Amino acid sequence: MNICVVKMRPSVSRSIVSAAASIKRAPGDTQNKCQEVKPFLQIPGPVALPLIGSVWKYILPGPNRYDPERLHEVACQKYDEFGPLVRETLPDGSGLLSVFDPDDVQSFLLQTRIRPDRRSHLALQKYRLDRPHMYSSGGLLPSNGEDWLRLRRPSQAVFGRPDVVASRLPQVDQIVRDFISLLRALRTADLQVPDLLHRIKMMNMEVMLMVLFGERFGCVTERPSAQCSALMEAGGRSTRAIFKTDNGPLRLYRYVSTPLYRQLVDSQDYIYSVAKQKYEEAKSRKGSEEAPSGGGTTVLEGLMRAQQLGEREVMGLLCDALMAGVDTTSYALAFALYHLACNSGPQQRLADETHALMATSHGRVTEDVLRAAKYTRAALKESMRLIPISIGIGRINYSPILLRGYHIPAGTTIVSMNQHIGSNPLYFRDPEAFRPERFLEDSAELHHSHALLPFGQGSRMCIARSIARQAVHTTLLHMVNNFTLKWHGPKLGCKVRLINEPDAPLSLSFTDREVKASVSPQPAG
């Protein structure tokens, strides 16, 4: 496995101070041994320079430079040099705190749970706030406080509804079966599929469009539709622009229209145009007998019925889903396929589970199959332990908190290092090994509740996590039911482009497996 193996460190005293007069003890600060509160500046970390803070570590050349595209490796550097709590300084003078102990992760997430603010997608926020005729706020991704809460409550009620997600499972299952047929058609003589990651993204784009709008767009074909290709390109260009503008030291886009910001604008304009078209079509269907294919409520219909959401709010939510939902699901699936392809034992056990379950459902993935697919769920969880969607969870504390005896001033960006925690032998036995068994109910291994948080935590968890899990589990079941997977490339790692993505092409071969449960592919609907 291409992961950082964490060095064992001596145990560190876990005494946390009682509250100082100026700081109210927060619910997450559960340890109550009394000692003097230590100032924030005593937390170890790299030296800060005038004007740019600690950012010089990420931009200046040198043997110990922090690579912003290899933040999981940067986490190892920080931990080895400074320990389980690392302080940095951002260019605006505020603090950045990296947290490497799951006890401390639990503590700061509890202490910030009332107002789970975070710092991300800042250029996207500017784009939307500059267009009040299109959007009412920055949207779910960059917004904080009341603006975020006004969107989150009614939208969560839609994205989490069983009749929205589960009712689309037959269509999602059909999309995945069409994808299996497409892989067979695209295989070369060595049984590999050229540009496999792009094909996986196209499949997940089709899934997302089906759940959002209730219709197929032609993404799962040898030659995807122009609209699918343009949407995919717009989402990727948006993500790359947001990553670079969020992490730039000067954020010049706030004052002048930089090339990166124009890239974001052009991409977001296109995503908005597609969402707007579908919104208008849904509005025209209201009151008529015409409905999207497949039955059940679509996400768009659910959002339009929510009394707290107007057109501008709905448009922002649709654009968020189209931009953020496809890549996250695709990369999670890609890493899971990689880990299964490299580990024949777990792959065979998953195949045994898959054959048994699919034999009872005539080769289709149903709600009953998903509920019973325990090893499939464990395999995805284990893959996300090794390479999660992101390195961890970020929060900005609205008021001062206490952590490890240190006073953490308000406005500090606090980030959990869950990818590092997942590879640390203090928290996971044999952390380099891919062993889904560790997450089965009958496993003797116990894991900290905050060591693995692949979809976030608390009220700011990934809003589309049910859609993502359904898509990935369905695809894994069909993949292993139909193919024996084998990896032919070098060890696969990850690079950060807002989220973790594969750092090399997917060199997988797909050998037809003797399938015990199969159905003939149905025409796309």
479 φ/ψ sector (left φ>0, alpha ψ -120 to 50, else beta): alpha
What the block records as the tokens of 514 is 């003797």
CATH of 124-395+417-512 among 1.10.630.10, 1.20.1560.10, 1.10.3720.10, 3.20.20.140? 1.10.630.10
Per-residue pLDDT tens listing for the chain (525 residues) = 444 545 444 333 333 333 333 444 444 454 444 568 999 999 999 999 998 999 999 999 988 999 999 999 999 999 999 999 999 999 999 999 999 999 999 999 999 999 999 999 999 999 999 999 999 999 999 999 999 999 999 999 999 887 788 999 999 999 999 999 999 999 999 999 999 999 999 999 999 999 999 999 999 999 999 999 999 999 999 999 999 998 877 789 999 999 999 999 999 999 999 999 999 999 998 765 555 555 678 999 999 999 999 999 999 999 999 998 899 999 999 999 999 999 999 999 999 999 999 999 999 999 999 999 999 999 999 999 999 999 999 999 999 999 999 999 999 999 999 999 999 999 999 999 999 999 999 998 999 999 999 999 999 999 999 999 999 999 999 999 999 999 999 999 999 988 999 999 999 999 999 755 444 445 444
Whether 337 contacts 347, CB under 8 Å: no
Annotated binding site for heme: 462
Q: The whole model's pTM is what?
A: 0.90
Token pair 């600060």 in the structure block, residue: 29
CA 57 to chain centre: 26
Q: Annotated binding site, which residues?
A: 462
pLDDT of 111 reads 96
Q: CA-CA distance, 46 to 89, in Å (whole number)?
A: 9
pLDDT at residue 291, as a whole number: 55
Collapsing DSSP states into helix, strand and coil, what is residue 186?
A: helix
Please state, in angstroms and rounded to a whole number, the distance separating the CA atoms of residues 11 and 426: 10
Rounded distance, CA 241 to CA 367, Å? 38
User: Whats the size of the chain, residue-wise?
Assistant: 525
Cβ-based burial of 322 (10 A; exposed 0-12, middle 13-18, buried ≥19)? buried
Contacts 24+ apart (CB under 8 A), 216-225: 216/171, 216/175, 216/293, 216/524, 216/525, 218/524, 220/175, 220/178, 220/179, 220/182, 220/524, 221/182, 222/182, 222/185, 222/186
Q: What are the sequence ranges of the domains in the chain?
A: 124-395+417-512
Q: Determine the residue type at 103.
A: D
